[in-house]
Amino acid sequence: MRNPEKIRNVAFVGHGHTGKTSLISAILFITGKTSRLLKVDQGNTITDFDPEEVERKITISTAVAFTDWNDIRVNLIDTPGFSNFFWETEAALHAADAAVVMVDAGSGVEVQTERAWEILNKLGLSRMIAINKLDRENTNFFSALDSIKESFGREAVPIQLPIGKEKDFKGVIDLVKGKAYIYEGDESGKFKETDIPEDMKDDYEKYRNELIEMVAESDEELMEKYLEDALTDKDFSSGLKKAVIAGDIYPVVCLSATANIGTGNVLNSIVEYLPSPKDRGPVKTEEGEVNPDPEEPLAALVFKTISDPFAGRINIIRVFSGRLTPDSTVFNATKGVEEKISNIFYLMGKEQVSAEEAVAGEIVATAKLKQTLTGDTLCSKDRVVKFPFTPPYEPTISFAIEPKTKKDEDKISTALHKLNDQDPSFRAERDTETKELILSGNGQLHVEVLISKLKKEYGVEVLLKTPKIPYRETIKGKADVQGKYKKQTGGRGQYGDVKIKLEPLPRGADFEFVDQIFGGAIPKNFIPAVEKGIQEARKKGVLAGYPTVDFRVILYDGSYHPVDSSDLAFQIAASMAFKKGVKMAKPTILEPIMKVEVIVPEEFMGDVMGNLNGRRGRILGMETKGKKAIVKAYVPMAEMLTFEPDLTSITGGRGTYRMEFSHYDEVPAQIQEKIIQQAIEEGRISPEEE
């Protein structure tokens, strides 16, 4: 049985292209899990195995690998760094006990790194910061460190310094051990321990003293020893670990993952300073806390689901307490059902390594659970608990999708359902009004990846289109009209005659039918047919073929024929009266208005407000929360279809937004003309109708 003290569950987070996957590859290589240093550029890394990841050279989905170092099992969780896939990152962090935050030495702290940091704060996870790519041109460790301190505070303190810079970067100085480590520079990751270079002793003393002071500050007893000059190396090292676990210090390390310089020192620091499940302690559930104890009842979280077209559904699980064994029955507390565990295995990317059991602190996977998906809690029926879990982010962009062929149409529903198992952050639903299948995701790249997966994994090809806007039509004036339908073709004819008044209703009132027939001008049994005729006719308005709403029809007179009148005749007569009346009652087009909330750094507030105004938006108000500005506005849905890429451009990806339907409002006259013209071109109405 593996001891929880001998486990490290570490997520690698940060902005895209900061080197998360590359560092994991280097760690797997130096620990003997791979025979050579695998590269993202070569498309052969262990954790970027999805065809989309290989092709695009970015991480799209969370993946897990493991290694062993100094008798410690290190579970390595590779997460996406691009905003379109960032829910995957947040979901994965629920399974981690700590994180390595990657920072590009040339770029400093970037947008998604800030976002990851906020999530780490929310979840209360310990972390280490790794300044990567120090062998590249125009990189500087100390500039990157300044950026880190500016973003994350003085608690970010180096525990290593680089030896050399740019192409001459060749090793690191360990400020805790007081030693230098020179790497061979051949990607082998091998190094030799040596003394501190003479020309770096001043920097070493300066940053070591700063680190010692920060460690001493984190503990009263250590501070007393420090002031008495009695702080031992053992006190210093153990105090540093306690401070890291408590979140009082964020140790900063340095490396080049692709050149494999510094990897061994980074891995040593992960093992020495980041918490084990036992160091982290009890984890909260909705019912209380669970301890990282194999002898307690089972409590585990499914933090990722893979839906493979061939292997089926695979659930990746973090065990927080108890044990998980093959051929056992567990309770899915989220769904309220029992599930049979057939087998369990460790994951090395997509490869499976059989496991006999998993105990508190371990990360394993299992296949073929019937109802279990991402976010579900598995536990013992003797102690039912549920772990809190971040729901998928609200989609920010939508497209209509259309199967290319009848064959694709038959398969699309099943394919989308399977894709949604592994990526619940997108939505696919049929718009009941426009009859379009709408695919909504967290950005255009997200949608493009989904479309590509449909084709590559499930053989379904679709076309992407801008979704139709569900416009409405209404009236602003009143009308009094007659509709008479009379048809004689030999034998029994058709006869229906209605007189109606139309008048507008308040926005949102939809439709009202009033029967004011007196004296039997129209027999009672034909009245429902009149209302049905109007209900059918209002589905297609007279201006652009959109449903007509917010009006009242008063049926006040008419006539009938004792032989020729029928339900159908009165339906047709009512439809004729409706169309005539709407044209006389000042018809207009309404559009859906969205309530939009945009969250951006304060410096972008003016630009965002200008952009919303240019989209015919009406600003409702502004407020600040920390360094973020929140802008609230009403904006027409038609103007929001292209907002996501514009917001990304304005804020450099640092802005987010959410929106929901609010109400309908009248479309400006010049835009109405375009809508009507488009309706004619699409054949929704004919020029004569218009």
Strands (DSSP E) found in 560-612? 587-601
- Token pair for 422: 């592994």
In this predicted structure, the answer to whether residue 688 has a pLDDT above a threshold of 70 is no
HEC letters along 209-251: HHHHHHHHHCCHHHHHHHHCCCCCHHHHHHHHHHHHHHCCCEE
So where are the chain's domains? 4-196+249-280, 283-345+364-379, 400-465, 472-585, 590-672
In this predicted structure, the answer to whether residue 606 has a pLDDT above a threshold of 70 is yes
Whether the domain at 283-345+364-379 and the domain at 590-672 fall into the same CATH topology:
no
Question: Do the Cβ atoms of 519 and 553 come closer than 8 Å?
Answer: no
Specify the pairing of strand 462-465 against strand 397-403. Answer: antiparallel
Measured CA to CA in angstroms, residue 523 lies from 14, 283, 558 at distances of: 74, 73, 10
Query: With respect to CATH, is domain 4-196+249-280 assigned 3.40.50.300?
Result: yes
Phi, psi of 200 (to 5 degrees): -120, 5
Least confident range of 3-7, 366-370, 381-385, 466-470? 466-470
Rounded to the nearest integer, the mean pLDDT of the chain is 94
Residue 657: enclosing H or E segment and its boundaries? Answer: strand 656-666
590-672 has which fold? Alpha-Beta Plaits (3.30.70)
pLDDT in the model for residue 442: 87
Distance CA 58, CA 48 (A): 8
In this predicted structure, the answer to whether residue 1 has a pLDDT above a threshold of 70 is no
In this predicted structure, the answer to whether residue 687 has a pLDDT above a threshold of 80 is no
Q: Which residue type sits at 398? A: S
Distance CA 69, CA 508 (A): 65
In this predicted structure, the answer to whether residue 150 has a pLDDT above a threshold of 80 is yes
- Tell me the per-residue pLDDT of 673-684, one tens digit each, with 9 for 90 and over: 999 999 998 887
Question: What's the gap between Cα 526 and its chain centre?
Answer: 54
> Residue 175: how many CB atoms within 10 A of its CB?
27
pLDDT in the model for residue 689: 55
- Token pair for 353: 């390594």
Nearest to 117 by CA among 657, 604, 654, 659: 654
The class that CATH gives domain 472-585 is: alpha beta
- Tell me the per-residue pLDDT of 530-571, one tens digit each, with 9 for 90 and over: 999 999 999 999 999 999 999 999 999 999 999 999 999 999
* CA atoms lying within 13 Å on the CB side of residue 49: 15
pTM: 0.83
In this predicted structure, the answer to whether residue 480 has a pLDDT above a threshold of 90 is yes
Q: How confident is the model at residue 241 (pLDDT cuts 50, 70, 90)?
A: very high
Phi, psi of 187 (to 5 degrees): 70, 5
Distance CA 109, CA 86 (A): 17
Looking at 485-604, list the stretches that DSSP marks H as alpha helix, in order from N- to C-terminal side.
527-537, 567-584
Q: How confident is the model at residue 134 (pLDDT cuts 50, 70, 90)?
A: very high
In this prediction, residues 423-441 reach a mean pLDDT of 89
Distance CA 474, CA 503 (A): 10
In CATH, the number for domain 283-345+364-379 is: 2.40.30.10
In this predicted structure, the answer to whether residue 112 has a pLDDT above a threshold of 80 is yes
- Tell me the per-residue pLDDT of 498-538, one tens digit each, with 9 for 90 and over: 999 999 999 999 999 999 998 899 999 999 999 999 999 99
In this prediction, residues 648-670 reach a mean pLDDT of 89
Question: Do the Cβ atoms of 596 and 633 come closer than 8 Å?
Answer: yes
* CA atoms lying within 13 Å on the CB side of residue 545: 19
In this predicted structure, the answer to whether residue 476 has a pLDDT above a threshold of 80 is yes
Measured CA to CA in angstroms, residue 132 lies from 139, 193, 262, 511 at distances of: 9, 21, 9, 64
pLDDT in the model for residue 307: 86
Distance CA 343, CA 257 (A): 35
In this prediction, residues 235-264 reach a mean pLDDT of 97
- Token pair for 56: 């695009």
In CATH, the number for domain 400-465 is: 3.30.70.870
- Token pair for 292: 């990282």
Distance CA 361, CA 354 (A): 17
Distance CA 384, CA 332 (A): 9
Nearest to 263 by CA among 77, 23, 74: 23
Distance CA 95, CA 73 (A): 15
Specify the pairing of strand 377-379 against strand 299-308. Answer: antiparallel
- Tell me the per-residue pLDDT of 155-206, one tens digit each, with 9 for 90 and over: 999 999 999 999 999 999 999 999 999 999 899 999 999 999 999 999 999 9
Strands (DSSP E) found in 445-543? 462-465, 472-475, 479-487, 494-504, 511-515
pLDDT in the model for residue 332: 98
Phi, psi of 339 (to 5 degrees): -130, 145
Distance CA 10, CA 650 (A): 33
In this predicted structure, the answer to whether residue 339 has a pLDDT above a threshold of 90 is yes
In this predicted structure, the answer to whether residue 690 has a pLDDT above a threshold of 60 is no
Q: Which residue type sits at 302? A: V
Q: How confident is the model at residue 590 (pLDDT cuts 50, 70, 90)?
A: very high
Q: Diameter of the chain by CA atoms? A: 118
* Residue whose token pair is 């004296």: 519
